[in-house]
Structures are given as C-alpha cells and as structure tokens.
Structure 1
C-alpha cells in the first residue's frame, strides 16, 4: 500500500497550435495598384488638357529624347513682372526647362518640329543604308555588283547609283535594252526598296559621246531611266512609289574631268526624304509658265 502512495502523478501537456496571423504583403500589392491607377488617371487628365501640337511634341520627345537637348519651354504667361525666372524642375545641361507653376508640356515652334522630324528621317534613312549595304554583302548577285553600286546620303535622301564599267555595261551600246544581269540586279533592288515607305526618284545619265541622227542622249537617258523603273516594279516594288523619272543626258557627269568615262553612264535612284517628295509634288501643281525654271538639272553633291 505504501508503494502505491509513493507514485508521482503524470502530467500531460497538450499544446494547441493556432493558425499564424497573416502577413502584410497584400498591403504592398494594394499600394502598388493604387499608385498605378493614380498614374494612369493622371496621364488621362494630361491628355485631355493638352493641344494637338503639344501631344505631337510629347510623342516626338519620347521617340527621340536626345533631339530635344537645348529646347526649353516658353515662359509662363501667369508669371508677374519682376518675379524673375522660375526655378527649373529639370535642368540638366540645358535639357528641358519647365516652370513649376506652368503645367504646359514642351512647346516647339514649327521650325523646331520640322528639324526634329528631319533628324529622325535622316536616322531612318541611315539605318536603311546600313541594312542595304549588309544585304549587298550577303546576296551573291548584289555582291558581284558591289563596285558598281554607289550608296550615299544626300540632301534629297538616300541615293543609290548604278554605274557602268568598261567591260560590264548596264545597257547595250547606244540603246535602252538592259543586259540580263542588270535586270536581275534591278529586281533585287526593287524588293529591298519596297521595304521602306518613301517614294523614289529615277534619273538616267549618259556619257558625252554624241549619237547619230535625231536620237540624242536626252532621249537615251530618259528611256534608260524608264527601263530601270519597269524592272524595279517587276521585281516587287510598288508602282505608286515612283515619284519622278527624268533623263539628264551628259549634263551632270560623275567624272567631270573625263566626260567620256564609262562611270558617267549610270542610273541614279534616290529614296526621297519628305522635303524632296513634297517639292516634287508642289512642282507638278504649278502652271506651265513656271515649269521651265524647274527643269534645269540640279547638281547633287
């Protein structure tokens, strides 16, 4: 009996585990969502209060911010006399300078907008020139004509000149009949040029050797330019991309020191920029009395 009374009681501890309290991660997600919605409605408000010109300027800035270096906004009309210039929000090496009391976006005059557009177009034509040169290197047919393809950027746009060589002319002598390899070359170029939206101008040139009879270098250069136009279209270039086809005979030689040099016999193809294209369209709308002054050949350096 004494042994039974000496036993120690057994205590059983039962631990009840409760679910952990949820964290605060949802608060961060909700805060991000609220911030994004606020920014979204702020953008909608800005778009509803800006003019068409201001929206165009904002679009140009985001497409090419570097082109706006040095451009500043007009002073606020609400700024009183003697208040001095307002403190800049952004003032980094003369970039965009905006007064805090003026909610207007960057204001550009028409000349500045035109300069920005011209700079962007020059960049696109330069990029197309690089891709065209790369295609010439990779294409077996085009690479065989590499020495006869002269590509450069001019004030009128991207110029591609196909010149004659002594032993490999583009046309039969004194004729507008294309050589078979010239046809293949023009068809390949037509596919490449069709990749850009710009319209093109075609000009035919000859050397100074006179032709017999009433058929002169003027007719020959014009007919050769038209023959090139037909092959470009047959190769895949859209017909409506042709903006001008002219023949200048021997008046604009490539080699001015030797008018009879075969390199003077060439087809000049210009992927026109907007300024040149607009000038051509404007010329076509002038009355006949004003056309003679426009027909004089223009030197392209």
Structure 2
C-alpha cells in the first residue's frame, strides 16, 4: 500500500503473511529417528549374541568347490553322509550310525583259478597293475601248465636288490605290496624262488649265491605277508642260485637276477603235496632197518 503525504514522497508498508509450517520445520523428528535406529541396533546385537556359533560350519563356497563329497564337508571329518565313490578311494560307512542287528560283514572267500582262460584274466590284471606303477619292464607274467609264472626282475635303471645284499629297492617294495593285495584274494598256493647270476659271491666266507638267492626269496615273501598275503598261501620258499638262468648263453648277465612266484593250479598243488607231504608211500631208512610207510587213510564218519 502506498501513501503520499503533503511533501510528495511515498511510504511503502510491507505486510508479512503468517504461515502455519513453523512446527513442521522443527528438530523433533530427528530425535525420534535416532531412538528408532538405536533400538534396531540393540535388537541386532541381542540376536547375534543369542545365536549359537558353530566353528565347524562350512561355507557355501566350500561346499560347491569340494569335489569329493556331495553336500560339502570332507570325507575324513565324519560329517558327510554321502561320500562319492571314486576309483582307488575306499568308501567307509559312517561310524556314528549303528549297524543293523543280525547282519555281520563277512570276508569274501579267495577265488581259485584253474583254467588257462581264468589264469589269463589274472595275468592281465597283474600287467595292468604293473603299468599303473610304471613297472612294465620289471614284471613278466606267463601262463604255464602248472599255473601262473610271475617274474619280478631288474631293468636297465633299477635293481630289485642292492648288489650282493637283500636290501630291497623301494620301487620293488611297492610292487610286491601291490602284488600281495591282488594275490590275497586268490586261493591258489604259491611257491617263491630266488635266482642270481653266476658271478661268485666274494664278501663273506661261506656265504654264496645259494644263500643270497634264498634270503632274497624269503625277503620277498615277508614283504608280501606283511602287506596282507596270508602266510598259509606260500607252500615253499626256494633258493635257485644261478642254476636256472633266463639267459643260459649269458650266465653272468644281470637279466638272470629275479624273484619268481609260481601260482599253482589245484592239480599242480596236489602233485606238490604228493612229493613233500604224507600222501604217498615211502621207505624210511635208519641204521637198523628200512621201514615201509603207507599214506594214512582218513577215517570215515558213520552215517
């Protein structure tokens, strides 16, 4: 509104309109929001404290990247319920689960091999084992009329035993251990023999290739028995010295040094028992007389 007075100058009067929004611009809402935030933080802290912490808990990333077990965890920690079956990895039952009543685990009976076809399958299995161990040059398997002939021998780079001793090379120790695992499932009896070259033994007086070949055969037998082969599976441990060379034209050549394992057929085992057992007639000589001994006949049980 403008007014003029007598002196011709204007007076400008401004009127300010009152507004009702002063209260909405106050700081009261900030206090309420701070109280709400504090209450939420307190709630989260309480929930975190009362939640049980599991140190063995496996993250989702670990479960995804673990290739051995379906559902995470490890095959050795006992937490897994469904371990995946993988070649060469034995799957063991969970020890915490009780065994079913009335069921007992029975050990499989050893299988006896007789026909040439069966022996050929066993020979192929042993050749595959040798290939796995990089021992193709150290293992030779032959099907013979008496059974299966297994030759374990030196190659150009590796000797089975240290020269002139019974110290076994670790490569051949592993080979014998794996071979024992195969033969432990076989019911046929075995004859283990040691062979040397014709180079004379010079270090110890009275100790010669006969002693050496026998000690080496016994060492091979002991390694296999310690690795799971039944002690009753071996019928004989024999010393052959240099009388059965693989190369008669080269008797001093190292190719003749070897351990042989003869897996006997049932028929061959019977012939062996006739030679060395009580199943044949014989004459026992003494200083006083000669006595005929007849084989004992098993008693027949009455019906």
Q: Name the TM tier (shorter chain).
A: 0.5 to 0.7
Report what 1:124 is aligned to.
118
Which has the larger helix fraction? 1
> Is residue 267 of structure 1 aligned with residue 259 of structure 2?
yes
How much has 1:149 moved relative to structure 2?
A: 0.6
Count of matched residue pairs: 169
Given the superposition, is the C-alpha separation of residues 134 and 275 from structure 1 closer, same or farther in structure 2, using an over 3 Å criterion?
A: same
How much has 1:224 moved relative to structure 2?
A: 0.4
How much has 1:289 moved relative to structure 2?
A: 6.2
Secondary structure in structure 2 of the residue aligned to 1:221: helix
Of the structure 1 ranges 148-157 and 218-227, higher mean CA displacement relative to structure 2 is found in 148-157
What TM-score, normalized by structure 2, do the two folds share? 0.52
Given the superposition, is the C-alpha separation of residues 234 and 119 from structure 1 closer, same or farther in structure 2, using an over 3 Å criterion?
A: closer
* Separation in 1, partners of 2:213, 2:221: 12
* Separation in 2, partners of 1:211, 1:120: 40
RMSD: 2.2
How much has 1:275 moved relative to structure 2?
A: 1.8
Report what 1:218 is aligned to.
210
Report what 2:5 is aligned to.
none
Contact 2:176–2:224 under 8 Å retained in 1: yes
Contiguous gaps of at least 5 residues in structure 1: 1-117, 291-301
* Separation in 1, partners of 2:222, 2:114: 31
Contiguous gaps of at least 5 residues in structure 2: 1-111, 286-303
* Separation in 2, partners of 1:288, 1:161: 37
Which residues of 2 match residues 92-103 of structure 1 at below 5 A? none
How much has 1:185 moved relative to structure 2?
A: 1.1
What TM-score, normalized by structure 1, do the two folds share? 0.53
Contact 2:139–2:150 under 8 Å retained in 1: yes
How much has 1:167 moved relative to structure 2?
A: 3.0
How much has 1:134 moved relative to structure 2?
A: 2.7
Q: Of the two, which has the highest radius of gyration?
A: 2
Given the superposition, is the C-alpha separation of residues 251 and 289 from structure 1 closer, same or farther in structure 2, using an over 3 Å criterion?
A: farther
* Separation in 1, partners of 2:254, 2:219: 19
Report what 1:203 is aligned to.
193
